[in-house]
Every structure is written in structure tokens, then in C-alpha cells.
Structure 1
């Protein structure tokens, strides 16, 4: 039987009590304590399992300092200490956690890194462009597990099996070309302290320009903000009140990594943030390898530099009743080795990776002319290491008719260092060229080669990709003018091969790695090449063979500075 509905009128005594206890105004809603959610973010780890030397400058001290830090033991120790403060801490990533990795990780298809991140309690990460380096099949294997890999010489060689990641990779703007639906999960929801928090992923839409074309041919990469914003209605229906973007796209700033609420952030991330749904208050970024904690139109945007040199600690303060974000505090923490012990599981994992790779990594390859050949470019955009890499690639296929070699500077991932006696090892060489790219030959006219040079990413403060001036082989020279507008910077008559100006109509046989030969790094002119042949010869094999041959001939490679093939005026 349904009870009748009554309207309640307080008695005179009850009403007086209410007035005395609440005052003449209505009783206030009981206060609810704020809720604190704690996050830690990492980006662009690139498989740097071991501690390494790196430099930094703090906000309060303009003098650069160099330490040995980072590495999974240092990261793990800090995470363990912070979890003692809050057991519900959530560890998240901004992409490029694997790929372009040192040999200790890359020799095992980055499985040690994925194991380590799982043991550190990583919950979710955006996909980065380097996660696609070895193609969709391999990425899916790394996520879901198994040994069926296009790299059978590396897959499942660490443990004999691979169960997949223990965390989620997400990307809202990567679509299946046929269905136009997200190919990967667009978001990941965690419920912490009674609050639903959604992490929405995205990777830079230019990923197809940074990965060999055949690796992502079945995928579409749409605008980052569009992909992210599409998820909000469904998440709100699920009762989510807190939205955090994990995006592999970034920017740069002249401010220090520990500058709170920096205000000079530039680059693609700024425009993306400005177009995000108002419900999104926090953006964890990556890709640009820069440490910052910035404000963009009231939103917090963070990045933790690269290689595990920093971690970003983030605290979100929520209204206890509505679960709305009322405040965000973020700080980039330097990963200096401390007194806290590393979790035992990470130490044993690192030891296993070292032992398993030691016999290969420690193999001496060749003596160099100098202790270190640097990839640091001069003002013209040329590097001493770029000289050697380009020369090695030309030498490998010169008998097949090649005349000029071009190498993308971003494909050179580290300096070529040596041990005592200037001896360089396999591991040190593998750090320079970690992608396993192959050499591709093609024919371009003199006019096309000049056009190719104009497509380079020049020294340009507005370009958030930084410089990517192509490294060129011996005998090829040119001059560019920094004051001329982009597209007209190369001095036409200065483009020469063995001292003779290039003929616009004549075809020249050139060699480049398969990544840029497929239009990667925005150098689309390579796509116009004729008589294209992928030799199948790997760049790292060519490089090590070249420096070994030069050593055996008594003319070891290397110099302290570039040899001057590229010149700049103004």
C-alpha cells in the first residue's frame, strides 16, 4: 500500500530550535573535506634503463650542473617513497616510452623497459610517434603480448616469453582508416578515493611524417583537440568529473624546468590546449624533450623533459561534494640518486638486462680519431657525427652508383662515445643509430635536390621541431642565407658536387635511409625520386663496417667539429 504524501510543518518549539541553531538564514550545507588526487608523470623515456650523465639549470641558479641520475632504480625509489605518502598515487605517461632506445633495451625489442614500467606501477600512457617505429603489428604485440614479431631476433629473447604491457596505451585521435573509429582505446578511467578520473590520450597528428609510411598505412591521425573533445560527452555520461589529457605533442620555453606556472610556452601544444573542452584542466605533454610546468589560459600544462631525468609530481585538489577541480599544483622533480633503496624487482631486472646484453654491447668495434664524435650541430646545421654517418652510407653503395648521401639529423640519437684508447663499442654505436633503417637509393634532378634542401627544418625559433638540417656526404656542399624567407634560403649556385654546380636537368643518384626516403621529417621531395631501390642494407651495419674499415686502414674517423660542407651566411 502506498503511503500518503504529507507536507511537514515544524512545531513552534522545533522552529525556534532551528532558528537558534542556524541563525535567521537557512542552514548551510555541511562542509565536505577536499579530496586530493596525486599523479606522477613521465614522458619520452626511450628505454633509458640505466643511470646516465646529464646537465640541467635550476630557476634559482643560472649555472649549469651535471650529474649522473635517472634510470629505473632511481625512478622506482622515488615512486616508492611517494606512494608511502599516498598509496593511491597514479603513475602516467606522455608517450615515447620505448623506441630510439639504448642497446640494453632495444636488443630485446624494448621488453625490459615495458617490464620495468609495469613494475613501477605505470597505469596508462599516451602513444608516442616512436611507439610506431617498428609498425602496427609489433606495437600490438608489445601491448597484448606474444612472440609473433617482425623482429624475431629480438622478440621474447629477454624472458623467453612476453605477456604484454601491464598498463594501457591510449590515443583518441588515431583512427582505423576503414571504420574511422579509434583503433586504440581513446581513454582510460580510474576510480580513486571515490572519484572517477579519465585520462584521454592523443599523439601528434604528424606521426605519419615521423614514421616510415608503411608502418602506419592502415591508420588515420586526426586533429588532436578534435579527437580529445569527442570523448567528453561519453565520459560525462559515465559520471566522470576529472579529465586529464595525456598527449604526445609539446612545446618549448626559455624558462627553467622548475619554474612554477611558466608563461612563455610556445609550440603546437599551445594551440591544442586553447581548443580543448573547458572541462579539461590538466594536460601532460611530451615529444619536445623539454621540462616545464606552464599555464595556458588558466590550464596547467606539464612536461618532464626526457629519458627519466625528471618526473612531474601533480596534485589535484577537488571539491569534496562536487568533485570539481579547484586547484592544481605541479612540480618537476630532478631524478638524483638518493638514500632510498631501489625496489628489488627493478634492480634484478636491470641486472638481467645488463648481463643479457653485455656480451654484445661490450664488443669493441673500432678506434676513433677523437674521444667523442658529437651530433651537436653548428650554426649552419652540420655536425661532426653527421659527416661520418653520411660518409658511411655513401661508401656502402658507391659501387652501385650513389653520388650523394643525405641523413636526417634527428635520426642520429646520441653522440658516438668511446672507452679508454678511443675504442668505440657495439653498444655505443647502436645508441647512435637505433632504428634499424635500411638504405634506399633513388634518382633526383639537380632542381629537385635544391628543392629538397629548401624543405629542411631550418634554424627557426617558431619551429618547435628544432633544426633538422640534413647531414650530407663528402663532396657535396652548399650555402644558405638565414635572412631569406623559407623556401628561398639556399644560394642556387652554391649547391655543388665535387666543386661543380649541380645541373638542374641532370639526374643524380642519391642514398638516404628508408624513413626520410618515404617522406619522413617533412622532406617530401624524396617521394619524387625515380628508380627507387631499397637495398635492405641496415644503416647501423654500414656505419660500424665503415668506422672499422677506416680504423684498419690507419685513418680512424672523427673530428672535434664539422668539416664545413654546409655553410650559413647571416
Structure 2
């Protein structure tokens, strides 16, 4: 900066001295601006888990340790309270699926308690997740904006006479209303932290249509995630954004320790997405895959914090205030165990009140189990004890309609079936297994269609991992991973009640309404004929089956494998 010392005649010497001193002070202020550290805390895939749940930590050596209870609203709130004492300007964000597939304590009240808990914790923004669409676009807008006009009228506004909506902003830069050509909801928002304007842009996986009820997202287009983020950057810059942070509800997987920064082995659709991003995006906070990781992808930091509030990602983003560039990113995943931080009194009181109001429904006994927990963990062939049990349950509930085979998608099974004292499972524990409120649909499929349906387990457009359907008693087959995709089922191995499957024969099957619409990339279900919408909840079928099995005292595990992988 150049300063002229020649004063106009009308200026006094005193005025000149003051002008010169102010000019040099301005130079000093410009050149000495200190870097700013912006502290961010991120969660993802909370799914209405207001209470702690089972979590298996990873040790320093990368091995799994004993299961603990972690997560829940009180643990997250306590940690935020402690960290805000270190930095009152802490920015709390989410990468989606705050609600949907929620345990009963949230879903009983149309997930309004979870939205309120996030309001209390000072959440500022969240990418929309695919599960935010579980009850349809109208309900998502109600959750954001408030009101009682709900597709769940028996649950909405039952906590109180009014529901005020989310105080944070849901973001979806890649979701467009087909009728208007305009964004369905905002794509980005800008938060000012310590004088730095942080642009937060959110997207949901482009493949949302395959994992959500088609009827709930009618009229919406889901575009390429990276293109939407890049397209939003000029608009954010025009509104003054200094740095850009992407909240992406899409994920990856890695075998690296979720607690160790610097992993370079991230795999999955998120990797290609990140590689296409504008260089301005240095930080990607991800979700959807329920993994924990702190990775690097072509110079960008990519994080995820598991699910259910078990982990929180702490991010220290150093910004050069003179050039508005990110100069350093330090990341850490922290396990959130109840009691690790002093309780947040307001959150503790809120959860206690909610538990009391929900207690009668949640604690209602359903059945005594022979052994607990009943696990959803799959064996090498893709079969799980819990999945087989649910498939048996939907078959038992519809046998009087001529059904021969029951199918269940593994993604619809959200938790292990746990039990309390004397192995008695309560309604809250069964509902946590099947929280979607799906109904059962009966239909006819030909033998050829069933064969095609099974092959679709490996034809996954967005994933290299198969999605193995859980099948009921009396149905069995073998598959060979050495065979090419499209012909992995071993010829002649499919049996229904001991008889070989016949391509030209019609079979009566049952599945939940999500699968019946072709969800989870199983389009063959949508081609079923002679369809009957039973209106029966899968949860009701499951609980009735557990009651009927109670007196038998036998394990729910199948007597013999139904799905066999050729080795």
C-alpha cells in the first residue's frame, strides 16, 4: 500500500499525522490476519436412535472388541455440550438419514422427537438421506416446515398440539421437482463461523429411487451428485462463501480402522463421486453405508461416523483468513458412550419424559425367546437366522392365501432382535427390527421369474456386494460365485417344498410392499400378477410368529441351510 505524505493545504499537521497513522494501521491489520480454526462435528445415519444401542468398537490393532452400548441423543448432546465449552462457535452438521427406519420411541410419534432432539443440539444443516423419503415427499416437507397435515395422522402432533418443524435446514442439491424443474428443497446454505462464510452443500445418492417406495418420490428427479455439488459452487461463491463443505448421503467401505486418520483404501460409489468434485471441495462428510472412516481421496478428506450416534466425527478445519483457503484438516472419530461426558440436563429431561410417555407401548411383552439376541449377521452364503425367521413369519401369516414362499430383503432388517429379562422380547425390541411399517403383498410369479429374481441378487448397479434375499422354510437353492453374474444359481438346485422349480409353473409368494414395487433393485417383483395388498404389517406377522413359536422352546435357527454357497 502506498501512502502520500504531501498534504493538501487545507489539512492541518495534526490531521495529516492522524491520516498517516490510520493508513499504516490498516496495512498492519490486513497483513497480520491470523488463520481461523473452524471446529465441525458431524454425524450420519442416526435413524431416530434416541436411546443407546449395541456397538462393537474396533481396537487399536484393527480387531473388533466386545460389544458395548453407545450412541443415542443423550450421549451426542453431552459430547456437544462439552466440546462447545472448548469452542462456542462449533458447527454441528449431518450427512443424512436422521430419521426413517427408526425405533419405536421415535416412530411412535412420527419421528418428531428426533427432529426436536436435533433442534435442541443445535444442528445447523443435514443432507437429505434416502430414509427421509420413507413416508414420502409430503412428510419430509412437514418435518422441515412443521404442521400437522401428515400421512401419519395417528402419530403426528401427538406429542403436543403443534409441531414446529426442524430449525436446521435439509439440503438436496441434486433433487429436482419434475413439474417445475426447480430444486425440491434448498441445495445449500451458508453459515458464518468466526468471520468465515462456510458453504454447506448437500446431496443424496442418485440411486435413491431403488431404495425408496416409488410412490413416495413420484415427480422427483435424482441427479448426479458430483455435478449438482459443482453446479452449486458458483452460486455459493456469489453469496460470499469462503470455503465449501460437501454433505453427501452416499458412502463407501474400507477395512481400515475407523478411528485412524489417513486411510487410502476407501472403495465404493463415493470414491468416483469425490474424484469428480471441484478442487474447491476439500472436505466431504459422507453417510449411507453405516461405516466409520477417515480417508483421503486424491487430496480430499472424506469422513463417515458409523450410524445411530455411535460415533461422531470431530473436524478442525484451519482456514487462511487472508486468502480464504483451507490450509489444514485434522479429523477424529470419537465413540460416544453414555456417561463419558457430563449430561446435558435439558436433553436428559426430554428423553426421560419421552420414555415415560412411550413406556406402555415399548415395554409390552411380545414373546419369550429360546435364546437372545437373534442375529441379523449373515453367513457366507448370505443367510441369517433373523432373516430366515422373518421370512418364515410372513409365510405363516399368509398361508391361508395359498402362499408357498416368503421373501425378505436384508436391508429392511435394521437391528438384531434383543430381549430383556428371561429372554422376553418387548414390542419396542421387535419394532426396532422392522421399523418401516411395511405391509405384505401376495402375488404370483412363474418359476422362470423366481429364477430371474434370484439372479438379481448379484446384479447390483451401485454396489459390488450382493443383496441376498432371506427365504422361508421349504425354499432352498445353491449358488456359485465362480459363475458369471446372471447365472450364479446352480441349475436344478432350486426346490420348493422338496420339488424342483418348474419354469412354466405359477407360484404364490409374499413380500413386503417395498419389494413388491421392485425396490432394492429387484424389478422382477413388480412384474408379479394376481396381486393382493393384504394391508397386514410385516411387524404384526413377525410378532405373531414369535408368540406362536414361544411355547416350542426351540431355536429360531433353521434346521438346515436354505441357501448354500458352492465353494
Task: Provide Cα deviations, 1:127-159, integer angstroms capped at 9, x if missing partner.
Answer: 001111111121111111111211122111223
Task: State the match for 1:50 in structure 2.
Answer: 51
Q: Say if 2:237 is the partner of 1:240.
A: no
Aligned equivalent of 1:555, options 533, 552, 555: 552
Distance 1:241 1:521, change over 3 A: same
- Farther-moved stretch of structure 1 (72-81 vs 364-373): 364-373
Within a 5 Å distance, the mapping from 1:131-142 to structure 2 comes to: 131-142=132-143
Offset of residue 500 of structure 1: 1.0
Q: Say if 2:563 is the partner of 1:566.
A: yes
Task: State the match for 1:85 in structure 2.
Answer: 86
| In 2, Cα distance between equivalents of 1:44 and 1:465 | 21
Distance 1:150 1:30, change over 3 A: closer
Q: Say if 2:343 is the partner of 1:342.
A: yes
Q: Say if 2:333 is the partner of 1:329.
A: no
Task: Provide Cα deviations, 1:407-432, integer angstroms capped at 9, x if missing partner.
Answer: 10111111112222222111111011
| In 1, Cα distance between equivalents of 2:429 and 2:332 | 33
| In 2, Cα distance between equivalents of 1:174 and 1:351 | 37
Structure 2 contact 388–558 (Cα < 8 Å) conserved: no
Offset of residue 383 of structure 1: 1.0
Within a 5 Å distance, the mapping from 1:149-548 to structure 2 comes to: 149-338=150-339, 340-457=341-458, 464=463, 466-548=465-547
| In 1, Cα distance between equivalents of 2:166 and 2:424 | 37
Distance 1:62 1:368, change over 3 A: closer
| In 1, Cα distance between equivalents of 2:288 and 2:62 | 26
Within a 5 Å distance, the mapping from 1:20-99 to structure 2 comes to: 30-60=31-61, 62=63, 64-99=65-100
Distance 1:490 1:250, change over 3 A: same
Structure 1 contact 401–509 (Cα < 8 Å) conserved: yes
| In 2, Cα distance between equivalents of 1:410 and 1:7 | 69
Offset of residue 466 of structure 1: 4.4
Task: Provide Cα deviations, 1:91-134, integer angstroms capped at 9, x if missing partner.
Answer: 00000111111111111111111111110110000000111111
Distance 1:426 1:466, change over 3 A: farther
| In 2, Cα distance between equivalents of 1:61 and 1:482 | 28
Structure 2 contact 36–321 (Cα < 8 Å) conserved: yes
Task: Provide Cα deviations, 1:467-511, integer angstroms capped at 9, x if missing partner.
Answer: 420011111111001211211100120111111111111111111
| In 2, Cα distance between equivalents of 1:49 and 1:422 | 23
Task: State the match for 2:21 in structure 1.
Answer: none
Task: State the match for 2:125 in structure 1.
Answer: 124
| In 2, Cα distance between equivalents of 1:29 and 1:130 | 47
| In 2, Cα distance between equivalents of 1:556 and 1:182 | 55
| In 1, Cα distance between equivalents of 2:540 and 2:3 | 87
Structure 1 contact 315–330 (Cα < 8 Å) conserved: yes
SS at match of 1:533: strand
Distance 1:199 1:562, change over 3 A: farther
Offset of residue 29 of structure 1: 7.1
| In 1, Cα distance between equivalents of 2:559 and 2:489 | 19
Task: State the match for 2:16 in structure 1.
Answer: none
Structure 1 contact 300–328 (Cα < 8 Å) conserved: yes
| In 1, Cα distance between equivalents of 2:76 and 2:546 | 36
Offset of residue 227 of structure 1: 1.3
**Unmatched 5+ stretches in structure 2:** 8-23
Distance 1:372 1:339, change over 3 A: closer
Task: State the match for 1:17 in structure 2.
Answer: none
Structure 2 contact 92–122 (Cα < 8 Å) conserved: yes
**4+ aligned runs moved over 6 Å, structure 1:** 26-29
- Farther-moved stretch of structure 1 (463-472 vs 248-257): 463-472
| In 2, Cα distance between equivalents of 1:555 and 1:492 | 36
SS at match of 2:236: helix
| In 2, Cα distance between equivalents of 1:286 and 1:223 | 16
Task: Provide Cα deviations, 1:313-347, integer angstroms capped at 9, x if missing partner.
Answer: 11111112121111111111111234532221101
Task: Provide Cα deviations, 1:41-73, integer angstroms capped at 9, x if missing partner.
Answer: 000011111123311113346352433222222
| Number of residue equivalences | 549
Distance 1:546 1:27, change over 3 A: closer
Task: Provide Cα deviations, 1:507-551, integer angstroms capped at 9, x if missing partner.
Answer: 111110000111111111112211222111111111112221233
Offset of residue 368 of structure 1: 2.0
Offset of residue 405 of structure 1: 1.0
Offset of residue 463 of structure 1: 6.9
Distance 1:527 1:371, change over 3 A: same
| In 1, Cα distance between equivalents of 2:136 and 2:532 | 21
| In 1, Cα distance between equivalents of 2:535 and 2:74 | 38
Task: Provide Cα deviations, 1:352-401, integer angstroms capped at 9, x if missing partner.
Answer: 11111111111111122222221111111111111111111111111112
For the aligned residue pairs, the C-alpha RMSD in angstroms reads 2.3
Structure 1 contact 173–182 (Cα < 8 Å) conserved: yes
SS at match of 1:230: helix
Offset of residue 559 of structure 1: 3.1
- Farther-moved stretch of structure 1 (66-75 vs 80-89): 66-75
Distance 1:542 1:66, change over 3 A: closer
Structure 2 contact 446–503 (Cα < 8 Å) conserved: yes
